[in-house]
Amino acid sequence: MPEFSGCSEMILKWFWNDFEMILKWFWNDFEMILNGFRTDLKPIWTDFEKLFRRRNAGMQMTDTDRNMLMWDETIFREPEIFELDYLPPYFPHRDEQLDAIRYALKPALRNVRPLNCLLYGPPGTGKTSAAKKVIEDFLPYADHVIMVKVNCQIDSTRFAVVSRIYRAIMGVAPPGSGVSFNRIFEKFIGKLIETDRTLIVVLDDINYLFYEGNANEVMYSLLRAHEQYPGSRIGVMTIVNDPAVIYGFDQRVSSVYLPEEIEFRPYSLREIDDILSDRIRNGFYPGVVSDDVRSCIVRHVAETGDLRSGMDLLKRSGMNAEKRSSRTISEEDVEKAYAASRTVYHDRLLETLSAHEKLILEIVEKEGEITAGDLFDRFSEKADIGYTRYYEILNKMIAAGTVTADFSGKGVKGRTRLIRPGIFGNSASGKTRPSDRKITDFRCGIRRKTDSPADMFRRILPGTGRPADKKESCF
């Protein structure tokens, strides 16, 4: 420190101490930032250092070096293509279904009530995407039409469904309390009549309304609105995995709900390969996915038939390749992604289950295979609910694929059901397997392979979801 004399020495010493302390603080912060940069850049610098040493030593670069992905590079050309909500400009292998939906909605262009339609098929076959695609193409030419899509898995009550419609028409959410259902319904119907507009409601996963006992009330309110409010025009498009669900409507609804049935069959192996090849071509850079790797992905998707799992698998496989700084996706990347995606999906599935559903799944996974009657006996030991409610919960889990059911050949007319773990096999033991059952295989737990929707209708009493012969029960 410099030397000072006189009375100002003490004051200068104070200033110098403060300045020295500030410098130390600044240097400590700067050193901490430098250390952080060194840590973050160390892997990148190591990669560059290896390449520079090879070049300076006159060594030839190996295939591994050439295939190394730099820190600022990516193998994804258009990453949003692999998102589950992505809607492609071209919808392959569904021309027949798209034309059928357009035909049902066409009257709305002339300000006439459209035809109701039912889209059904196994999960991941493009039902919701097809509906979105038609709506996207339809709306620019129909200013007088309002389309509202309701996810019934989320909005599973009558008030929630009507609130979603109210918000789309009125532009604001309805009051959360203090206002009756009829008042809210009357409000947006009056707005439709006043503006001379047509409403089309898309009820996605309508089976969830049945589980909560709200399906009949929602459908009755929409389909018969014109009787109480002349001039209103409402069409309903329902999306469901199992078409037998619609025969659970009571007589007052089924008499007016006569939909155009549009089937979405599972994609064939060739169609899956074609769709995934198109996503690979547009979503990744050339050379990232080899033919062998693509075939591996197609095989995994074909096991379940759910195309959404293919999109997730492509995304996760690409991220695994980038994680190891590779310009290409290997089969090992695919297998790791496949295992991870199944685990994540299983965890999400468990989170959505109620306490009673988790208890049933726990018993089924522990036993591996159990009759529906024995399952109820075990279930009733821990849960204080009746057989009817148990029956409803079990059928909901079967429809969702959480558990599966097969006729055992025993009991009255051989119709005792065997309940087994569903989508992921026995997760309690850590062993998982894709379900080889489709949700459309079930009606009251089982749908006969030779059944058409009309066959099922003849076997079921009008207005009920129960078999016509009481002796031919589901249990």
Q: In whole angstroms, give the CA distance from residue 73 to residue 150.
A: 40
Q: What is the model's pLDDT at position 440?
A: 29
Over residues 342-356, the mean pLDDT reads 70
Which pLDDT band, with edges at 50, 70 and 90, does 321 fall under? very high
Q: In whole angstroms, give the CA distance from residue 191 to residue 30.
A: 64
Q: What is the model's pLDDT at position 409?
A: 62
Report helix angle 181-195 to 158-170, nearest 10. Answer: 30
Over residues 385-400, the mean pLDDT reads 82
pLDDT at 273 over 70: yes
User: What residue has token string 């009309």?
Assistant: 454
Which pLDDT band, with edges at 50, 70 and 90, does 188 fall under? very high
pLDDT at 410 over 80: no
pLDDT at 41 over 80: no
pLDDT at 322 over 70: yes
Q: Which amino acid is at 359?
A: L
Q: Which two tokens stand for residue 226?
A: 């014109």
- Return the closest-CA partner of residue 154 out of 220, 205, 215: 205
Instruction: List strand residue ranges (DSSP E) for 135-225, in order.
Output: 145-151, 198-204
- Return the closest-CA partner of residue 300 out of 340, 335, 344, 328: 335
Residue 112 backbone class (left: φ over 0; alpha: ψ -120 to 50; beta: rest): beta
Give 26-86 as a DSSP string: HHHHHHHHHHHHHHHHHHHHHHHHHHHHHHHTTPPPPHHHHTBPPTT--SBS-GGGGSTT-
Q: What is the model's pLDDT at position 413?
A: 56
Over residues 133-138, the mean pLDDT reads 91
Give 367-413 as a DSSP string: HSSEEHHHHHHHHHTT----HHHHHHHHHHHHHHTSEEEEE-S-SGG
Q: What is the model's pLDDT at position 81?
A: 94
Q: In whole angstroms, give the CA distance from residue 209 to residue 222.
A: 14
pLDDT at 258 over 80: yes
Listed as own residue / partner, the contacts of 373-380 with beta carbons closer than 8 Å and 24 or more positions apart are 373/416, 373/475, 375/419
More confident of the two residues 17 and 411: 17
Q: Which two tokens stand for residue 343?
A: 């685990």
More confident of the two residues 135 and 355: 135
Q: What is the model's pLDDT at position 470?
A: 34
Highest mean pLDDT among 62-71, 346-355, 399-408: 399-408
pLDDT in tens, 422-436: 765 544 434 433 333
Q: What is the model's pLDDT at position 401?
A: 73
Q: Are 110 and 235 in contact (CB under 8 A)?
A: no
Over residues 156-183, the mean pLDDT reads 88
DSSP state of 60: P
Q: What is the model's pLDDT at position 31?
A: 64
In whole numbers, what is the pLDDT of the chain averaged over residues?
Answer: 78
Q: What is the model's pLDDT at position 68?
A: 75
Task: Say whether 145 sits in a helix, a strand or coil.
Answer: strand
**Of the candidate ranges 152-161, 166-175, 228-237, 459-468, the one whose mean pLDDT is the lowest:** 459-468
How many CA atoms does the CB half-sphere of 7 hold within 13 Å? Answer: 0
Q: What is the model's pLDDT at position 346?
A: 67
Q: What is the model's pLDDT at position 7?
A: 53
pLDDT at 458 over 50: no
Angle (nearest 5°) at CA 403 between 397 and 406? 115
pLDDT in tens, 278-289: 999 999 999 999
Q: Is this structure's pTM higher than 0.85?
A: no
- Percent of the chain past pLDDT 90, that is, above it, reads 38
Q: In whole angstroms, give the CA distance from residue 289 to residue 297.
A: 10
Which pLDDT band, with edges at 50, 70 and 90, does 469 fall under? very low
- Return the closest-CA partner of residue 73 out of 288, 330, 327: 327
User: 71 — phi, psi (to 5°)?
Assistant: -65, -30
Q: Which amino acid is at 269?
A: L
Q: Which two tokens stand for residue 337?
A: 């992604």
Q: What domains can be seen in the chain, in order of their start residue? A: 9-66 (no CATH), 95-263 (3.40.50.300), 268-349 (1.10.8.60), 353-459 (1.10.10.10)
Q: In whole angstroms, give the CA distance from residue 364 to residue 438.
A: 19
Q: What is the model's pLDDT at position 71?
A: 77
Which pLDDT band, with edges at 50, 70 and 90, does 246 fall under? low
Which pLDDT band, with edges at 50, 70 and 90, does 100 fall under? very high
